[in-house]
Amino acid sequence: MNHGNDDLPPVRLPIEDALDLHAFAPRDIPSVVDEYVRAAHQAGFREVRLIHGRGKGVQRGIVQAALERHPLVVSFHDAPEAHLGATVAVLGGPQPGTPQP
């Protein structure tokens, strides 16, 4: 008897301007950040907040390393009101469906 979730389709969540990463395993954070940034850009967001928590800064480092190498991220910074518990990313690149020059 298979009790795994291998046969279940992926869950589709609405894309919002913030993503709380507490529910994700650290090993999954880079791919989650990549997919979220792409989906947020596709949805038309120009700025998003990734909530990673304060702790020892490990998750923050993983998130910011993923943002640093992401082609759709123009810049990122610590959200000042979150006391190092969240990172704000500014997204760039052409809007989806926009003709290229």
Give residue 4's pLDDT: 55
Report how far residue 51's alpha carbon sits from residue 78's, in angstroms, rounded to the nearest whole number. 10
Backbone angles phi, psi at 96, to 5 degrees: -55, 135
Give residue 101's pLDDT: 47
Count of structural domains within the chain: 1
| Contacts within 8 Å (CB) and 24+ apart, 4-10 | none
Chunked mean pLDDT (size 10), the chain, 101 residues:
61 85 92 96 96 89 96 95 90 66 47
Give residue 57's pLDDT: 84
Give residue 98's pLDDT: 54
In a domain, 37, yes or no: yes
In a domain, 29, yes or no: yes
Q: Which structure tokens are listed for 86?
A: 């969240």
Longest dimension (CA), the chain: 56
- CB-CB neighbours of 45 under 10 Å: 17
Has this prediction a pTM greater than 0.85?
no
Owning domain of residue 36: 23-47+55-82
